Structure 1
Amino acid sequence: MTNFRVFLITLFFVLLTITNFIPKKLEAATTRAFFVFGDSLVDIGNNNYLATTARADSPPYGIDYPTHRPTGRFSNGVNLPDLMSQYMGFSEPTLPYLSPELTGQRLLLGANFASAGIGILNDTGVQFVRILRMFQQFSMFEQYKQRLSVEVGADEANRIVDEALVLITLGGNDFVNNYFLTPVSARSRQFTVPQFCTYVISEYRNILTRLVELGARRVIVTGVGPLGCLPSQLATRSINGECVDELQQASQIFNPLLIEMTKDLNTKLGYDVFIVANAYQMNMNFINDPQNFGFVTSKVACCGQGRFNGVGLCTPLSSLCPNRDVYAFWDSFHPTQRALGFIVEAIFNGTSDLMSPMNLSTIMAMDNNI
């Protein structure tokens, strides 16, 4: 990739971020609502309001956000749901459900219920103390629908939820912050890796079934990424800097089971409610060939300390790279804003190996013709 092409790609994402985060007049009547559930990859600040250690509300988080201040996003700037909102042309990003600003007409745009540290299993993330596990996120979604009904009436509220787009991102923490958290964990004593994957998928099926019961009709489900390639895992488990086989194998077992499970759900429901994003391959594309995407490294995190900057938390005392756009990973677990841009591009326009059964642009075109 030439330096000029890298410059153009970087400029595109910078301009997209700036222009789309300028406040605009709400256009609730024509905007599709967007609901987000899951973990730190999609949390935009709910954990700011909780007594938890899983938080990103201090510098240098947010250094490249339009305000240059931390927002609770585990990113140097915007994150996955922000970029998806921009790509879809939404009038402004959804707010965290716990934000006091989520009132009135803003409710019509949807809400983000995600909470860093959670997993599919309720025992995932216990070390983070108070976080919003999935049953709590769903309880808040029910509260949201009641509030929306007060605002626009029950029939209109049902229509908004029925026509909304939903994003759910879960699973990674069940491995890195549960099964593989310690050399011998309670879950690793209970299950082999394949058995654990099967068990977690069965629990995920219950979550997705409940999401449909609550009114979701179009749901983007992201698979787990290449967990063995995270800077945190390179720092603690890799001898030579290569991705950790055991965690990579867990991802490779889990993701096909996820596709199989969602296909079965779609068959039973009679149409494609669930669309699975192959986050593993989307990430591996730039992890395997970082220079082709304009990155100087896909191993070392921009913010951190220790080997690969993958030890501990990103804090004001951490080593911080001067140019986040040439790093694939922001901290020990999360991609940079620019890396997420490539993932969002794949979600919207990816081929069948990346999006199953179809990409989001196709889904949106179908929905617009209904």
Structure 2
Amino acid sequence: MPQQLAYLEQYKQRVSEIIGQQETERLVSQSLTLMTLGGNDFVNNYYLVPFSARSRQFALADYVPYIVSEYRKILMRLYELGLRRVLVTGTGPLGCVPAELAQHSRNGECSEELNRASGLFNPQLQAMLDSLNQEIRSHTFIGVNIRQSSIDFISDPERYGFVTAKVACCGQGPYNGIGLCTPRSNLCPNRDIYAFWDPFHPSERANRIIVQQIMTGSTDYISPMNLSTIMALDAVENV
């Protein structure tokens, strides 16, 4: 993440050499930024192996506020760099992706432990965003509830036109949840009827459902307001 922040600073410097500092600050302040936080900190860090370094250092109830506090520093740095509209997504239901089903599930049930992690993390992330917005007196940081959007089609895939939310379109092993999607993987005949493309990531069609909730959803999905409302407000302010 420090490297990504450095890239943003480099970008601003290069653009300012072309259009000037004032126009660069205006450009950056009117941009829309998407930040996705949390998933890898659990799946590829805390739970990657039994007795991982992080799990020995922190109990889960202590690890969650620790990473939320670290994210707060990152978001404040983005604010200092001039960003004023930042969509921040938490984690989906981590225990329900095909990769975790392949490792932990006997009958297709989700991993309760991983879902407990996302259940702890997402509310604390949103509370931190609310606190930040109150501190800076602006709705700069918008919380996106990816967990709820994903649970909708995972718990009732047929309602959304999917034949399964357990088996990935591309993969191998149980639930096509082992390894990566490669030319030698099993490949489904129609990716549009699978909720997951590979062992970890939603399919394009599932992502479109998530994006629709970002655009027009209620505060159950995006808070304090959806993206359509934000764009309408910004259009008035920037006239």
- 1:168 alignment partner, one of 9, 31, 35: 35
Within 5 A, what are the aligned runs for 1:309-324? 309-324=176-191
Q: What's the CA shift string for 1:186-227, capped at 9, x where partnerless?
A: 111111111111111011111111110111101100111100
TM-score, normalised by the number of residues in structure 1? 0.63
- 1:184 alignment partner, one of 40, 51, 55: 51
- Matched letter for residue 325 of structure 1: D
* SS at 2:3 equivalent: helix
Give the gaps of 5 or more residues in structure 2.
none
Within 5 A, what are the aligned runs for 1:259-298? 259-298=126-165
**Offset at 1:183?**
1.6
Q: Does 1:349 align with 2:194?
A: no
Q: Does 1:231 align with 2:71?
A: no
* SS at 2:51 equivalent: coil
**Offset at 1:332?**
0.5
Q: Distance in 1 between matches of 2:80 and 2:138?
A: 15
- Matched letter for residue 293 of structure 1: Y
Q: Distance in 2 between matches of 1:325 and 1:166?
A: 27
**Offset at 1:150?**
1.6
**Offset at 1:154?**
1.4
Which is richer in helix? 2
Within 5 A, what are the aligned runs for 1:132-151? 134-151=1-18
TM-score, normalised by the number of residues in structure 2? 0.98
Q: Distance in 2 between matches of 1:149 and 1:189?
A: 46
Within 5 A, what are the aligned runs for 1:56-67? none
Q: Distance in 1 between matches of 2:213 and 2:221?
A: 7
- Matched letter for residue 34 of structure 2: L
Q: Distance in 1 between matches of 2:77 and 2:214?
A: 24
Give the gaps of 5 or more residues in structure 1.
1-133
2:77 is matched with 210
- 2:168 alignment partner, one of 297, 301, 305: 301
1:329 is matched with 196
Within 5 A, what are the aligned runs for 1:95-106? none
Q: Which runs of 4+ in 1 moved over 6 A?
A: none
Two-structure CA RMSD over aligned residues (Å):
0.7
Q: What's the CA shift string for 1:105-150, capped at 9, x where partnerless?
A: xxxxxxxxxxxxxxxxxxxxxxxxxxxxx10001011111111112
Q: Distance in 1 between matches of 2:16 and 2:213?
A: 35
* SS at 1:315 equivalent: coil
**Offset at 1:369?**
1.0
Q: Distance in 1 between matches of 2:165 and 2:36?
A: 22
Size of the aligned set, in residue pairs, is 237
- Matched letter for residue 174 of structure 1: D
* SS at 1:369 equivalent: helix
- 1:240 alignment partner, one of 78, 91, 107: 107
Q: Distance in 1 between matches of 2:120 and 2:225?
A: 21
Q: Distance in 2 between matches of 1:196 and 1:169?
A: 18
Q: What's the CA shift string for 1:227-255, capped at 9, x where partnerless?
A: 00011000001122111000001001000
